[in-house]
């Protein structure tokens, strides 16, 4: 069994004490010998951590004692070796940068759709109201190149801050369709779906839990290739294992 537990999680929740949290979370992670990255901002938390199963789950349990994070549910995968070099906790302006401060998921999410529902819609070729369904990849072009849903819309953006302009350029193509926005773990979908709703698209959903949750719950049906991840594993297959695990880890 692979001994290293990898988790990713995020939550949009007001954190006016982000700077103070940084010190506490870093100390806790280091004490548990974890490695990875935690991003904090006034808008929430985004984390990627790896270590022994016991240590990672201890960190999550402690995190959940803060009522703001009580319902956080990390996505899990396992690897043979530690995929991170160090432990970093950073305070940023946004946990996922879009440069649109009016887009605040903590104030109200766009509707989400489960992995099972997306699979069913793709199986049948339309949603439950009979509208054609399209999947919209909100990730950067180099991530998409590792794998994506069959026939997914890919606007070849180089960074997420380009998404709003890309939508304005292509908005007419999405009219009268059900749009399922997706990304690695769900964080970009949160903002993208709200932005599209605000732009006047009526039938927009975010894939709950992103690609990784979709792999976990459906086995990756309708998905081609792997899912890029921001650590030394580089990409995960539909079974949530590193596609090239021999490259993972450090001497």
Q: How far apart are CA 229 and CA 234, in angstroms?
A: 5
- Of the residues 38, 118, 167, 183, which is catalytic? 183
Q: How far apart are CA 238 and CA 180, in angstroms?
A: 19
CA angle, 79 then 149 then 48, to 5°:
35
251 Cβ contact list (under 8 Å, min separation 6): none
Q: Phi and psi (nearest 5°) for 2?
A: -65, 130
Whether 126 contacts 190, CB under 8 Å: no
Supply the DSSP string of 120-147, one letter for each residue. Answer: HHHHHTS-TTS--EEEEE-S-HHHHTTE
227 in catalytic set? no
User: Rounded to 5, what percent of the chain is helix, strand, coil?
Assistant: 35, 25, 40
Q: Point out the residues that are catalytic.
A: 183
């Amino acid at each position: 069994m692979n001994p290293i537990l990898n988790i990713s999680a995020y939550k949009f929740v007001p954190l006016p004490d982000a700077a103070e949290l940084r010190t506490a979370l870093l100390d806790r992670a280091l004490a548990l010998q974890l490695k990875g990255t935690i991003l904090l901002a006034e808008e929430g938390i985004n984390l990627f951590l790896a270590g022994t199963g016991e240590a990672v789950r201890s960190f999550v349990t402690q995190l959940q004692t803060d009522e703001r994070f009580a319902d956080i549910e990390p996505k899990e995968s396992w690897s043979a070796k530690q995929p991170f070099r160090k432990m970093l906790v950073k305070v940023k302006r946004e946990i996922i940068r879009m440069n649109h401060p009016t887009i605040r998921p903590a104030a109200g999410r766009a509707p989400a759709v489960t992995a099972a529902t997306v699979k069913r819609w793709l199986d049948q070729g339309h949603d439950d109201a009979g509208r054609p369904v399209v999947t919209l990849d909100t990730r950067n072009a180099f991530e998409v190149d590792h794998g994506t849903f069959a026939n997914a819309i890919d606007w070849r953006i180089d960074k997420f801050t380009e998404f709003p302009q890309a939508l304005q350029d292509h908005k007419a193509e999405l009219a009268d369709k059900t749009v399922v926005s997706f990304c690695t773990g769900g964080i970009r979908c949160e903002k993208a779906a709200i932005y599209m709703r605000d732009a006047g698209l009526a039938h927009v959903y975010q894939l709950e839990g992103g690609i990784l949750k979709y792999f976990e719950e459906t086995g990756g049906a309708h998905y081609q290739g792997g899912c890029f991840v921001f650590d030394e594993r580089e990409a995960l297959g539909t079974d949530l294992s590193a596609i090239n695990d021999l490259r993972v880890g450090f001497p």
